[in-house]
């Protein structure tokens, strides 16, 4: 079993490093760089991330945080459907197959190399994301200049290398360009967060410029008062009432008009209680 000699994150990977700093996080970054990329060490590093984020070791409580970590370090994270829906391009096909045509946000282009991304003429209005990473996005609203170097840099992103979320490990680096529009204050996005069964949950995210807050619900749409590193939204209840009236929503199908459907597959690192 060999160890990599490079303990320093690649330049583009630094964009997705945890914001927390200090000596313990520095030790974490070093260990993450020098330990082998195997499931055994995925679990070790993930437990250390949990300890640094929550101030305790996992497994001592039956909380949402512990359930998400169990998903992250278990075998289910590598299921074919979960890996497929982690890829932002392939997830659209999954939505079409399971929920019906026309429910995934339309794709304009998928760029598969730095050269292709550099040469591509971006539409005046579009949303640009790496398909193999998380948290990186460029929204072009009306033809404003776009940092092409940032887009080509996404091909060097390795989300697994930073966060040890194994469903990202073997994803091919690509950039997806999809249709984009400025959503109104009344629009929300719904995500499935946990696997099916008693532990399933959903989160709903108001879509507003430069603001991102969430509310998390059980599979039966009861509030959990928890959030994935963002403020709990006070604006969800009115929109949820109209959505829950749809029999389709109870089956976790894509929502009614005015909503967009999305899947979320990465295990969370820092869910925090809203109580």
pLDDT digits (tens, 9 = 90+) for 43-85: 999 999 999 988 899 988 888 788 889 999 999 999 999 999 9
Domain boundary among the residues 178, 207, 231 is at 178
158 and 200 together in one domain = no
**Residue 245 structural domain:** 188-273
For residue 153, is pLDDT > 50? yes
| Domain presence at residue 91 | no
The span from the CA of 103 to the CA of 101, in Å, is 6
Is residue 147 located within the same domain as residue 211?
A: no
66 within domain boundaries: no
Q: Please, what is the average pLDDT of the chain?
A: 74
Q: How confident is the model at residue 263 (pLDDT cuts 50, 70, 90)?
A: very low
Tell me whether residue 150 is in a domain: yes
**What pLDDT shows up at residue 22?**
79
Distance CA 167, CA 182 (A): 31
Which pLDDT tens digit goes with each residue over 12-27?
445 555 556 678 888 9
Q: Does 200 share its domain with 226?
A: yes
State pLDDT tens for residues 180-227. Answer: 765 544 455 555 544 444 445 555 444 444 455 666 676 677 776 666
CATH number of 141's domain: 3.30.1490
Looking at per-residue confidence, does 233 or 106 come out higher?
Answer: 106
Domain count across the chain:
2
Question: Is the confidence at residue 5, as pLDDT, over 60?
Answer: no
Tell me the whole-structure pTM to 2 decimals.
0.71
Q: How far apart are CA 136 and CA 147, in angstroms?
A: 13
Task: Tell me if 82 is assigned to some domain.
Answer: no
DSSP line for 24-82: HHHHHHHHHHHS-SSHHHHHHHHHHHHHHHHSS-TTSS--HHHHHHHHHHSSGGG-HHH
Of 178, 201, 224, the one marking the end of a domain is: 178
Residue 223 included in any domain: yes
- Burial environment of residue 194 by CB neighbours within 10 A (0 to 12, 13 to 18, 19 or more): buried
What pLDDT score does 190 carry?
A: 56
Looking at per-residue pLDDT, the higher value among 20 and 33 belongs to 33
């Amino acid at each position: 079993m060999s160890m990599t000699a490079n303990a320093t994150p690649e330049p583009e990977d630094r964009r997705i490093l945890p914001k927390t700093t200090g000596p313990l996080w520095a030790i974490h970054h070093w260990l993450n760089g020098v330990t082998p990329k195997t499931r055994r060490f995925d679990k070790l590093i993930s437990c250390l991330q949990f300890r640094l984020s929550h101030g305790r070791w996992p497994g001592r409580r039956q909380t949402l945080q512990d359930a998400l970590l169990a998903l992250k370090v278990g075998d289910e994270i590598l299921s074919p459907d979960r890996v497929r829906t982690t890829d932002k391009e392939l997830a659209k096909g999954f939505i079409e197959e399971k929920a019906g045509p026309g429910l995934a946000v339309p794709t304009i282009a998928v760029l598969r190399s730095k050269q292709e991304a550099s040469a591509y003429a971006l539409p005046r209005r579009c949303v640009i994301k790496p398909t193999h990473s998380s948290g990186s996005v460029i929204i072009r609203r009306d033809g404003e200049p776009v940092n092409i170097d940032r887009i080509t840099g996404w091909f060097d992103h390795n989300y697994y290398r930073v966060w040890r979320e194994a469903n990202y490990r073997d994803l091919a680096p690509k950039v997806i360009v999809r249709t984009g529009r400025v959503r109104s204050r009344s629009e929300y996005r719904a995500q499935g967060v946990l696997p099916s069964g008693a532990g399933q949950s959903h989160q709903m995210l108001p879509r507003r410029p430069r603001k991102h807050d969430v509310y998390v619900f059980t599979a039966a749409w009861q509030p959990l008062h928890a959030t994935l590193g963002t403020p709990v939204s006070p604006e969800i209840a009115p929109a949820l009432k109209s959505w829950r009236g749809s029999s389709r929503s109870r089956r976790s199908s894509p929502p009614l008009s005015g909503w967009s459907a999305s899947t979320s597959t990465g295990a969370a690192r820092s869910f925090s209680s809203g109580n």
